């Protein structure tokens, strides 16, 4: 899951050759926009049933864009995707083990 193909890595390296694209704040801002798009899709699928199919298609695109921004930010900071994925999985497991978690 966390292994990137060489062609994807090359696309990211090409993007990051441009000085403005290496600006961490710019990367974060774009990531935030992409996250908002994901949220918008989720909400619109719920409140506009007639548009659900179109919003679901856009949701997939929005998730791809969000994921790519996370990957680019990780690459910018030389983070290993496998390592951070495993760290996230461990943290998720710790959250669930805390107990007394209830949905309201």
pLDDT in tens, 87-96: 999 998 888 7
The residue among 4 and 34 whose pLDDT is bigger is 34
Q: Which residues contact 3 (CB under 8 A, 6 or more apart)?
A: 81, 82
- Interhelix angle 52-76/24-47, nearest 10 degrees: 160
* Structure token digits, residue 50: 């007639």
Share of the chain above pLDDT 70, in %: 97
CB atoms within 10 A of CB 57: 11
Q: CATH number for the domain including 50? A: 1.10.287
* Domain span including residue 50: 7-97
Does residue 104 lie within any of the structural domains? no
């Amino acid at each position: 899951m966390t292994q990137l193909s060489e062609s994807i890595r090359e696309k990211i390296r090409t993007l990051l050759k441009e000085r403005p694209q290496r600006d961490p704040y710019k990367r974060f801002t774009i990531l935030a926009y992409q996250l908002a798009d994901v949220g918008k899709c989720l909400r619109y699928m719920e409140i506009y049933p007639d548009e659900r199919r179109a919003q679901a298609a856009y949701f997939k695109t929005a998730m791809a864009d969000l994921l790519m921004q996370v990957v680019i930010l990780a690459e910018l900071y030389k983070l290993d995707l496998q390592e951070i994925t495993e760290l996230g999985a461990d943290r998720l497991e710790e959250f669930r083990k805390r107990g007394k978690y209830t949905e309201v």
